[in-house]
Chain A
Amino acid sequence: MPESTHPTLLSRRELLRRAAAVGLLVSPAGALLSACATSGGDDDESPSGGGKKSEKNPFAVKEDAPLEVVIFNGGYTDKYAVEVHEPLYKKSFPKAEIKHQATPEIKTVLQPRFAGGNPPDFVNNSGSGSMDFGALVADGQLLDLTPLWDAPSVDDPDKKVRDTVVPGTVDVGSFNGKPYVLYYVSTVFGLWYSGKLFKDKGWTAPTDWDSFVKVLDAMKAAKITPYAYAGANAAYYQWNVILTHAAKIGGADVLKNIDNLEDGAWTNDAVKEAATMWSEVGAKYMDKSHEGLKHTDVQLQQNQYKVGFYPSGDWLENEQKKDAPADFEYQMVPIPSKSGGKMSAAAVRATAGEGYVVPAKAKNSAGGMEYMRLMLSLEGAKGFANLIKSPTVVVGGAEGVTFPPGVTSSQAALKAAGDDVVNIFFDGWYKDLDTEARAATNELMFGRIKADAFVQRIQKKADAIKKDSSVTKFKR
């Protein structure tokens, strides 16, 4: 779910951009632009770089070809590109000029360029203003990354790049079996709390549902809102919790069926049971006002010790670096569950996040792919991990890097989960289904509907999407 990983706060400038985006369709001038766009762009695809192929240059990058890099300027900023990855590329190709651009609004900046057939060579497509990966793939706008994964790795030419990353990395970025996206940052999801608060109050981290409820009660008694998520723009943080819980009850196939739009995937008993349990948490331990707040507000409240548990991924600690007290000590636990489920209590949802692509029509697409290969080198991965304090998908790429307490705890949880790791894809494939799940989640958690209505409502939408021939389908 990289495009939804960091809902950015709506600034005035962004709003104006969005308004302009609507104007693009409604208003005359914009429609003219799109008019030009529909007729333009029949450039030839040029996958090869035209340079000399060698062991150090497997994609035959032309050494003086300029490389245009566009980075999403969000939670991770663009520092890692400027200070780590671009210098690596420059070292390999000193004659190449690197054109760097950073923006919090990828779609606004790049949609016209994709429409005109003139995209950059490397794109970090992320944030709430990212382009739809499914649409990009369906229209053949992205370069097939198979050559990248099959190329020799930087550190050990006898090893393919695909063998230097954690298992599942290639699959996460694959659409119907073809790899198009490089997801780079290891991401673990769970419930987050303050280690300091727990120490001060003498609470212990919950290991199962009963101990979870006990801590919730203790928090309520201490006048702390025990559980919170932001209904205004981050309801998917909560459906993520419900679905991960459902997988723990009914097994990993529950999620696979949901992603594959199988009949009755949502009305499955496991989903219903998880939804029932969490709607009870909503009724008893949540604050109604949180439905109207954004994620930044709720996260800030947690930093002020007004909120106990908050569901999120492990970008949270880095995101709150400026707001959290120095001794806040973020900690993460997996979604608590009752015993008797098909997966262990330690099971977590983990994935690779932060998507990078090479446009199919890029002028220097070989350079874009080489840039990715360098990112996946040990030097590139360690540089990133050191700067951002988040581990990458590169095996051994975090060795010798010290992480802050939150990421340390989430990495420990990932290790403890062993093979019980699940992932969810449908929100990246079918935006309408994500929208429906978000709306239904708010309805459920804030007490307007019951679990039955919750699953039926989303199932109805899933069925409608399945029938709609205009939607490109994906399978895993």
Chain B
Amino acid sequence: MRHGRYPFIVGFLFAPVTLYVVFVIWPYLQAFYISMNAWRGFAVPPRWVGFDNFSRMFEDDRFWRAVWHNGLLLITLPLITIAIALFFAFLLSVGGKSKRGDMAGIWGSKFYRVVFFFPQVLAVPIIAVLFQTVYRPNESGLINGILMKLGLDPILFMIEPSLALPSIIAVLIWQAVGFYVVLFSAGMGSIPKDLYEAAELDGASRTRMFFNVTLPLLRDTVQVAWVYLGIAAFDAFAIVNVLAIADGGPDGATTVLALEIYRAYGKNDFGYASALGVALFFLTITFAALTLRVTRREAIEY
């Protein structure tokens, strides 16, 4: 029945490919088109302006600040999140005492695993609103309330320009760690126990075990985490929009590309917003391609 195979495959592919073209490919092309136009989003035909929106973008101070902030996020967010998540996952999976060669997590690891996952269950805007209270600059803030009771000066988290972005990065990390702890724990669970047993017999310490057994065998998982977190670093819109004062402030100290897009949309500057969107598209796709290319290596079979 070989001749019936192609219609069969085509029949299955038709719906998803159509959906993909209509809802992904075509809109992207449209975004590229709008980015070359001046358009206020009303029923007036867009006016062709060529690369004007892009040259405006390259001259815009806030665009470069946003790119810089996204760049900072791109480095710090995956690095710190993966480091913390690996540490916790290691403790939860193989950090405890081994009983007759059987590696186990530290005491209460099942409980911690659930607790770590909590932030992931909360919607992002709720987390932002939550941290508004945590960071609040006066006595009703969670941190500053305690500090002020102790007679100390409040820390102006979202107000001090040098503190604002780190405070936002901290929230992003807090929110992301749980998921990657679970992801890495699952990865570690699939590493054969006898490898650890052998390492232990050879007298390897916990640290040695982590770097020489766990990490190499988790490579693929870490790579996936890196790509996910990198893409998340290009977003960060919800947290910045709710948590930062004065639209990515103070004075643009926390703005990111997605927020700039939103601001351009707010000004009915759809062409410019699309140009920013196109820039974001290229940045994201470059990052994903680079990461996958650089980290490509043959998988270890076990």
Contact = CB atoms under 8 A, between A and B. Distances in A.
B241 interface: yes
Given A22-B237, A28-B23, A38-B45, A288 B137 contact: yes
Contact of A232 (B52, B245, B265): B245
B138 interface: yes
Contact of A291 (B26, B245, B258, B277): B245
Nearest to B263: A435
B267 interface: yes
Given A35-B26, A115-B43, A21 B137 contact: no
Q: Residue among B43, B123, B126, B270 with the most chain A CB within 10 A? A: B43
Contacts of B31: 25, 31
Top 9 closest A-B pairs, CB basis? A41-B43, A31-B27, A117-B43, A289-B137, A135-B268, A35-B30, A232-B245, A28-B27, A292-B137
Interface in B41-73: 41-46, 49, 52, 56
A16 interface: yes
A238 to B, nearest CB: 12
A381 B88 CA distance: 66
Interface in A6-42: 10, 12, 15-16, 18-19, 21-22, 24-32, 34-35, 37-38, 40-42
Nearest to A306: B138
B242 A28 contact: no
Given A15-B242, A139-B42, A32 B30 contact: yes
24 contacts: A15-B242, A18-B241, A19-B125, A19-B238, A21-B265, A22-B265, A24-B265, A25-B277, A28-B26, A29-B23, A31-B28, A32-B27, A34-B270, A35-B26, A114-B43, A115-B42, A135-B42, A139-B44, A289-B154, A291-B156, A292-B135, A361-B43, A446-B159, A470-B56
B235 to A, nearest CB: 9
B43 A37 contact: yes
Contacts of A293: 136-138
A291 B23 CA distance: 42
Contacts of A10: 242
A25 B274 contact: yes
Interface stretch (B104-112, B198-206, B247-255): B247-255
B63 to A, nearest CB: 13
B156 A32 contact: no
Contacts of B277: 25-26
Interface stretch (A49-57, A253-261, A417-425, A436-444): A436-444
B137 A38 contact: no
Contacts of A448: 161
B39 interface: yes
A107 to B, nearest CB: 8
Contacts, number: 161
Contacts of A136: 42
Interface string B228-271: 00000000011001100111011110000010011101111010
B40 A31 contact: no
B236 to A, nearest CB: 12
A116 B43 contact: yes
B165 interface: no
A38 B245 contact: no
A132 interface: yes
Q: Range of interface residues on chain A?
A: 35 or more
B246 A438 contact: yes
B33 to A, nearest CB: 8
Contacts of A111: 41
B280 interface: yes
A114 B41 contact: yes
A94 interface: no
Given A38-B46, A135-B40, 17 more contacts: A12-B129, A15-B125, A24-B265, A25-B265, A25-B273, A25-B274, A29-B23, A32-B23, A34-B270, A38-B39, A107-B266, A114-B41, A138-B40, A231-B250, A288-B137, A291-B250, A292-B245
A306 B22 CA distance: 57
A292 B156 contact: yes
A302 interface: no
A442 B23 contact: no
A36 B191 CA distance: 51
Given A38-B46, A132-B268, A22 B261 contact: yes
B173 interface: no
A279 B265 CA distance: 33
A469 B241 CA distance: 30
Interface string B95-133: 000000000000000000000000000010110110000
A289 B159 contact: yes
Contacts of A115: 41-43
Q: Residue among A28, A42, A235 with the most chain B CB within 10 A? A: A28
A240 B265 CA distance: 25
A289 B251 contact: no
Nearest to A457: B251
B86 to A, nearest CB: 30
Contacts of B263: 435
Contact of A443 (B238, B242, B251): B251
Contacts of A35: 26-27, 30
Given A32-B30, A292-B245, A431 B45 contact: no
Given A35-B30, A289-B138, A439-B251, A141 B245 contact: no
B24 interface: yes
Given A32-B23, A32-B26, A16 B125 contact: yes
B158 interface: yes
A21 B277 CA distance: 13
A88 interface: no
Contacts of B89: none
A41 to B, nearest CB: 3
Contacts of A443: 250-251
Contacts of B250: 231, 291, 439, 442-443
Nearest to B250: A442
Contacts of A24: 265
Contacts of B128: 15
A41 B40 CA distance: 14
A16 B231 CA distance: 20
A289 B154 CA distance: 8
A24 B41 CA distance: 11
Contacts of A289: 137-138, 154, 156, 159
